[in-house]
Amino acid sequence: MLYYSDMIGKRKTSQFKTEIEAVVRISVDHTQPFTEQQILDEFALNVSEDFSGVMSSDSEHLQPTTVTVMSEKVVKSNGIVSDETIL
C-alpha cells in the first residue's frame, strides 16, 4: 500500500524524520488446524502487508482479532534532542 505522502515525497510541514521499530503480538482466529509454518506462510502472504492494514486481512483462513504493541524503540531520528541537552 502506497501512502499519498510517499508519492509526493516528504510533506512540506515535516522538518524531522524518525523511524520506530515495534514488536507486536497479533491474535488470529482460524477454523482449521495448521502447522506453525503454514500459519506463518498464510500470515506473511495475506495479513502482514503493513501495520495499519493487519486488521483488514485478505486471508480466507486467518482472522486477526487483536494487535498489541509489545515493545518499541526509536531506531533513528534527527528530531529528538537527548535529555542531557535540555535545560
Convert the pLDDT of each residue in 22-64 to its tens digit. 999 999 999 999 999 999 999 999 988 777 788 888 899 999 8
Amino acid at position 73, single letter: K
Residues of the domain holding 25? 21-72
- pLDDT for the residue 1: 46
pTM of the model: 0.63
- Structural domain tally of the chain? 1
Q: Please report which confidence band the pLDDT of residue 87 belongs to, taking 50, 70 and 90 as the band edges.
A: low
Q: Is the separation of the CB atoms in 62 and 39 below 8 Å?
A: yes
Q: Is residue 28 part of a domain?
A: yes
Question: Which neighbouring-strand residues pair with 23?
Answer: 71
Q: Which residue from 21, 41, 19, 22 is spatially nearest to 30, judged by alpha carbons?
A: 41
Q: Is residue 6 part of a domain?
A: no
